[in-house]
Amino acid sequence: MLTVGLTSLLVPPENVNALSEALVTLGNDSERRGTMANQARASLSRFNRERIVAQWEQLFASVVHR
């Protein structure tokens, strides 16, 4: 999942000027690029296969044990 402003930038569809501005903004701000990259990597842990499987298993177990 992307979080606009934290892990990504959002520009309107087919708006070349907005895309250009977003790319220039990131290109000129190495600290922001680094922060966004780090946040994106950190958010990946939520989508780890083992973690998701464990969550499904917990859900199924809670339904069975009702």
Mean pLDDT confidence for 9-27: 96
Whether residue 22 contacts residue 11, with contact meaning beta carbons closer than 8 Å, is answered with yes
Residue of 56, 15, 7, 58 whose CA lies nearest to 33? 7
State the Cα–Cα distance between residues 19 and 66, nearest whole angstrom: 51
Mean pLDDT confidence for 4-12: 91
Tokens of residue 23, six digits:
């790319």
Whether residue 37 contacts residue 44, with contact meaning beta carbons closer than 8 Å, is answered with no
Mean pLDDT confidence for 25-46: 92
Q: What is the pTM of this model?
A: 0.63
1: pLDDT strictly greater than 80: no
**Residues forming beta bridges with residue 8, ordered by sequence position:** 4
Better pLDDT: 12 or 66: 12
- Both ends of the chain: CA-CA distance in Å? 32
Spell out the domain ranges in the chain: 16-64
Mean pLDDT confidence for 13-31: 96
